Structure 1
Amino acid sequence: MKILVVGKGGREHALVRALVESPGEHEVFCFPGSDAIFELAKPVEADGLESLVGWMKANAVELCVAGEESYLVKGEGLADLCEGAGIPCWGPHKQSAQLEASKEFAKGFLERHTIPTGKASAVASLEEARAAIGGGYPVVLKFDGLAAGKGVAVCLEESEGEAFLDEVFVQKRFGEGRVLVEEFLTGPEVSIFAAVVDDGYLVFTPARDYKRIGEGDAGANTGGMGAVASRQLIPAEALERIEKEIVAPTVAGLVSEGLPYRGFLYFGLMMTPDGPKVIEYNCRFGDPECQAVMPLVKGDLAGFCLAGAKGDLDLSKIAFDEGWSVCVVLASAGYPESSHSGDVISGLDTVGGARVYHAGTKLGPEGWETNGGRVLAVVAGGTDRESAVSSAHSAADHVRFDGMQRRRDIGILHFETP
């Protein structure tokens, strides 16, 4: 089967590897891709969505897998263009992807379908935001549009809120857009991923990521400094409640509103004292959770995605390892405020018993170099959390580059015995 994956980061590296390792003979392509991805997949020459879909049609691509969210809402939308060209696409239509592209749309959807979530109000200016907050810290502020995982600020005090509002309304770091002023929820977070096919779904392995740059969840928010995944992450009864109160009503809501959906749907949840509540939707796999979850997926992922893109939720094609997977992210100097490129990476050839996914790297004259904020994800598994943690951190110990930032509490913090 000819498959094309759209994206270029660590998540797409993990997806490409999982698809390449699926049973059968597969020719995998990637756009725009990266030097590391192109060791597994072939590059594509295209200068935009229309030319990309034209290339797929001309080269008889049988399945398009959407990795990166921006392509789902660019122009006419990746899935919409694929449908017009007769190419099965594992990723939602543009109108459905508004669940991620617009925080305000998502909040309205949640409220219309009485899905548990925090209270929120939308504002269009700095003055309106200050009035909505009214000194009521802590508070969560969310830029309405896509912001590469950096458009949400959990503000414990006024100085943090003012800094974020300055970025949005004064510096316009994310472009034009409104802000949601949202209720601050408490409790452990969990990431739930579902493969949605029309009115059906399959829940994948739950995961938990670590957003803050520093150990102990200190410092600035990031796109994710690591993740842990396991079917044992939350109790079975809690997962049943999540399915009943959140996943099933979301899928039913999509159908009732005529929003076509075939692809991965991410539910960012807070396990509050009142039960699970939705923090956000993403219309694709999370990053770095994807890197942690993919090694636990067994069977034929390529065949599963193709069947799903054609409207068939084939549960026989995949299964899930019952063990644990831990992902340790290695970030460059200056991250998350900036990133550093050109630092030579050493030790990759000595990493054993683990998978290394490239997020921000490039091939230079001396080998692999840094080329972004989050550089690498080192992932290892085990039958229990402790062995997975030990294996992942031991493997990460082999890798070095100047200015490297890493959290050594990934898979440990939030699991301490009371």
Structure 2
Amino acid sequence: MRVLVIGSGGREHALLIGLSKDPSVTELHAGPGNAGTSSVATNHPVDLASSDAVVSLAQSVAADLVVIGPEVPLVLGVADALRDAGFATFGPSAAAAQIEGSKAFAKDVMAAAGVRTAHAEVVDNPAKLDAALDRFGPTWVVKDDGLAAGKGVVVTTDRAVARDHAAECLESGHPVLLESFLDGPEVSLFSLVDGTTVVPLLPAQDHKRVGDNDSGPNTGGMGAYTPLPWLPDEVTRQIVDEVVTPVAAELAARGTPFSGLLYAGLAIGADGPAVVEFNCRFGDPETQAVLALLKSPLGQALNATATGTLDQLPPLEWEQGAAVTVVVAAENYPGKPRTGDVITGADGAGVLHAGTARNADGQVVSSGGRVLAVVGTGSDLAEARAQAYERISTVKLPGSHFRTDIGKAALDGRITL
């Protein structure tokens, strides 16, 4: 099976490494990939937002399966174009990808499916903003209604900060979503979905804030760990039964069945799980940790999803123990990151590339905000953390920063239901 993975981040590097371990995968291609993916796949330059360009690339490599990593090409309909051209494609249609592309659409789907989520209002007129803000608080949750790469959300107890973010979104032409604050620890649950068939992966927890102890602004994610020692298996089953399966059924009933990876981000409060957001693709950096523990052949699982045979897939098998991912970010991230700095130690075990490229001398350099994701595994969370931070100590990138507390609250028993 020849597989083409679309994307250039750490998620795509993790997918390619997982696919390389599947004996049924004979050839791997990445478009465009990064400096790290070239060690496991053939990189090809491509505009991943162009349906024509992606279809042309799939044709040129004679792909048997195309896996779309990022949300932008999915929302733009690249998966539709690939399917129309006859390619087995892992990733939802543009219509189904609205579960991430429009938060208002996601709210409507959840309401129809009877899924618990925060109370929300859409504001599309600056004149209505102040009155709407007065109906929320004392903690305000303000979301850009469109795609924002994980950074379009502000959660704050400062009304002025909430208003500034909302006004900025409105000035850029995007409606904003105001939500009631959901309390409780957050969980990311990935599920393979093929119409109404749902196969959950291991639950993980992301760390969105840039600094230790959840300080500073939101980012695309600074690290993750799996599994969650504080989350009972029955709660995971409850999420599948009461959240993922009803949403998949509702999308199918609307004539827009979901095919690909449905990501549910949830808060587990006193009344049980409630949805914070849905994404239409593998999350980054949770993917790097989750796939590090997958024993089953990844290519066969993704292909079964893409070809409508997920109900025939054998139960997924997982390694015992835990995995931890720590993101190494460039100077100034999540603001405008400094790029072009030479990285050393980026070829070590467990080091996945995200924002990297090669300069004219062939050296690996930084090319984005989240530059690397370093993964550690072990028999438990403590061992996995220790390995991740031991590996990160060998990576050198001028001005870079990373969180030192990924998974620590769980390890210390500070997360409880």
Task: Bin the TM-score by the shorter chain.
Answer: over 0.9
Equivalent residue, structure 1, for 2:71: 69
Shift of 1:286: 0.4
Question: Does 1:328 pair with 2:326?
Answer: yes
Shift >4 Å, 4+ stretches: none
Query: Which structure 2 residues correspond to residues 48-87 of structure 1 after superposition, within 5 A?
Result: 48-74=50-76, 77-87=77-87
SS of the residue 1:299 aligns to: coil
* 1:325 positional shift: 0.4
Q: Could you tell me how far apart the structure 2 residues matched to 1:259 and 1:201 are? A: 16
Residues 357-398 of structure 1: per-residue CA shift (max 9 Å, x gap): 111112233722211111111001111111111111111112
Structure 1 contact 230–322 (Cα < 8 Å) conserved: no
Matched with 2:196 is 199
Identity %: 40
RMSD between superposed Cα atoms in Å: 1.7
CA-CA distance at 1:51 after TM superposition: 2.9
- Aligned partner of residue 149 in structure 1, secondary structure: coil
CA separation in 1, counterparts of 2:260 and 2:338? 34
Closer, same or farther: CA 25–183 of 1 in aligned 2, 3 Å: closer
Contact 1:198 1:261 (C-alpha < 8 Å) held by counterparts? yes
Q: Structure 2-normalised TM-score?
A: 0.94
Distance 1:129 1:220, change over 3 A: same
The 2-side partners of 1:238 and 1:169 are apart by 37
Q: What residue identity is the alignment partner of 1:139?
A: W
Residues of 2 paired with 1:88 and 1:371: CA distance?
A: 31
Q: How does 1:194-343 map to 2 (within 5 A)?
A: 194-230=191-227, 232=229, 234-313=231-310, 314-316=312-314, 318-343=316-341
Which segments of 5 or more consecutive residues in structure 1 lack a partner in the other structure? none
Contact 1:300/1:317 (8 A) holds in 2: no
Task: Report if aligned partners of 1:207, 1:233 keep a CA contact under 8 Å in 2.
Answer: no
Report which stretch shifted further, 46-55 or 295-304. 46-55
Are residue 360 (structure 1) and residue 355 (structure 2) matched? yes
> Matched residue of 2:387: which SS?
helix
Pairing of 1:114-153 with structure 2 (within 5 A): 114-134=114-134, 136-153=137-154
Aligned positions, number: 409
Q: How far apart, in 2, do the equivalents of 1:59 and 1:193 lie? A: 29
- 5+ long unaligned stretches in structure 2: none
* 1:307-355 deviation per Cα after TM superposition (whole angstroms, max 9, x unaligned): 2211001332742223210001111100101101122222335x4xx41
> Which structure dedicates a bigger proportion of its chain to strand?
1
CA contact (8 A) 1:118 1:182 kept: yes
Q: Contact 2:195 / 2:249 at 8 angstroms: preserved in 1?
A: no
Q: Determine if contact 1:231/1:322 at 8 Å carries over to the other structure.
A: no
The answer to whether the 8 Å contact 2:381/2:411 transfers is no
Alignment-mate amino acid for residue 165 of structure 2 = F
CA distance in 1, matches of 2:403, 2:186: 18
Q: State the shift of 1:233 in Å.
A: 5.2
In structure 1, what is the equivalent of residue 373 of structure 2?
377
Distance of 1:355 and 1:254 partners within structure 2: 37
